[in-house]
Each structure stands twice: as structure tokens, then as C-alpha cells.
Chain A
Amino acid sequence: EAGVAQSPRYKIIEKRQSVAFWCNPISGHATLYWYQQILGQGPKLLIQFQNNGVVDDSQLPKDRFSAERLKGVDSTLKIQPAKLEDSAVYLCASSLGFLAGQGETQYFGPGTRLLVL
């Protein structure tokens, strides 16, 4: 089966510009996650969707970050305006059901590497 798809793979922008990342989860997966992975650190959860509803966005910097999953399939993460500290790899993951809290496996995409100058 096809894995989690993300685009673009790389993006370079200047601070204060806006940027958007796209994710297409594994077909049939109900839950979608966005993570931020800063160099030298482990991934940090930004937002979790179950179908098209937000389950957890407590760590999303809502003054500049937004995300949507309108039809419960693919998702877009946007940053506007970008800051230097947003330079990171943005990972998308998906899981089959709604059982993150029961140890359900998350499947990760290759990530989008963002550099803010």
C-alpha cells in the first residue's frame, strides 16, 4: 500500500513570508497528525485530526500556524508569517483508527524540510 505522502520535500523562504505544506495519509486512515522536528530534537506533536475534526492542537502556535483537513482525507499546514525559529522538518503521520491512547501505530511521511532565512 502507498505510504503517507508529503509535499514539497524542501522549502526555503524568508522570514515573514507564508508557507503551506500538504499531506495525504494512507488510504482509509482516520487519524492524521502533524509534528515539528527541530534539528537535534525528537518530533513534537502540533495537531491531531480525527476525520475532519481537531482532537488536540494544544501545542500549535495558533497566532501563526493553522491546519485543516476539510474532507477528512488530505491536510494542509500553514505558517503565516514565518519566523527563523520555524526552521524544522514538518512530519505528517496517520493511523488507522482513533486509538492513539491505546498504542496504535502511527505511520510517518518523509517530511518537509523548511528553512527560514
Chain B
Amino acid sequence: AQSVTQLDSQVPVFEEAPVELRCNYSSSVSVYLFWYVQYPNQGLQLLLKYLSGSTLVESINGFEAEFNKSQTSFHLRKPSVHISDTAEYFCAVIENNNNDMRFGAGTRLTVKP
């Protein structure tokens, strides 16, 4: 079965600095990849997802992630973070024709002024 590893449990960063949240997955078949964001006391919101086509996917608020099949990675990046980006970020994977989406343990991004 597929699994997801988020390499950093916490990432502190200063406002306007770049950030990368790392995600690696393992699977023997083709997969679909997701990044979800969870603000305090709220549910998960989809940030972006990779289904097929271009390996670089972007969100409306400046985040992007690149699917790297050879590295089995789907790292999330933003060139300049804001205080409002402070949240928990979850990477998730689902195998083609499988119903079970697997989540990583999450990375808590804290943006400091």
C-alpha cells in the first residue's frame, strides 16, 4: 500500500522568506498527489493536486509543487510567505483505482514577523 513521509514536522520561517515543505511517497503503481492546508480549528482545504500532465502545479495563493517521479517526491514551495500562511500542511497520495487516500503526519509552518 502507498505511504507518505513528510520530512519536517515543524518549519519556522520569517515573513517574505521562501519556504519548501518536503513530501516523499512510496507506491508501486501510478498515483495522484495532493497538498491540503489546515488552519486552526478548521477542516482541511485542498491547496493543489497533481493528476497528470505538467509536473508543476500551482495554487491561487502562490504555492506550487512539483511531481518528481524518479525521486518519488512532491515538495511544496512558496517564494515569499505571509503571516497568514501559518498553518498545518498535509501531503496525501492515492493510488490509481484505489479508494484509500493516505496522509503524511503534517508539517506545521509558522511564519514570524
Contact string against A for B residues 29-56, beta-carbon threshold 8 Å, 1 for contact and 0 otherwise: 0001010100001111110010100000
The answer, among A93, A101, A109, A111, for a CB contact under 8 Å with B99, is: A101
Report A-chain residues with C-beta under 8 Å of the C-beta of B101.
Answer: 45, 100, 106
- Number of A-B residue pairs with CB-CB distance less than 8 Å in the complex they form: 64
CB distance from A88 to the nearest CB of B (A): 13
Contact string against A for B residues 1-20, beta-carbon threshold 8 Å, 1 for contact and 0 otherwise: 00010000000000000000
Contact B103 A102 (CB under 8 A): no
Contact A105 B46 (CB under 8 A): yes
In the complex where A91-B44, A101-B94, A110-B43 touch, is A45 in contact with B105 (Cβ < 8 A)? no
Report A-chain residues with C-beta under 8 Å of the C-beta of B103.
Answer: 42-44
B21 located at the interface, meaning its Cβ lies under 8 Å from any Cβ of chain A in the complex: no
B58 located at the interface, meaning its Cβ lies under 8 Å from any Cβ of chain A in the complex: no
In the complex where A4-B43, A102-B32, A110-B41 touch, is A42 in contact with B105 (Cβ < 8 A)? yes
The answer, among B32, B42, B44, B97, for a CB contact under 8 Å with A43, is: B44
The answer, among A42, A101, A108, for a CB contact under 8 Å with B97, is: A101
Q: Interface residues of B, CB < 8 Å — how many? A: 27
CB distance from B79 to the nearest CB of A (A): 25
In the complex where A101-B98, A103-B49 touch, is A109 in contact with B43 (Cβ < 8 A)? yes
CB distance from B98 to the nearest CB of A (A): 5
Contact string against B for A residues 88-105, beta-carbon threshold 8 Å, 1 for contact and 0 otherwise: 000101000000111101
Name B residues whose Cβ lies closer than 8 Å to a Cβ of A: 4, 32, 34, 36, 41-46, 49, 51, 90, 92, 94-106
Jot down 11 A-B pairs with beta carbons below 8 A, ordered by A.
A3-B43, A42-B105, A42-B106, A45-B101, A91-B44, A100-B99, A101-B97, A102-B96, A103-B94, A105-B46, A108-B45
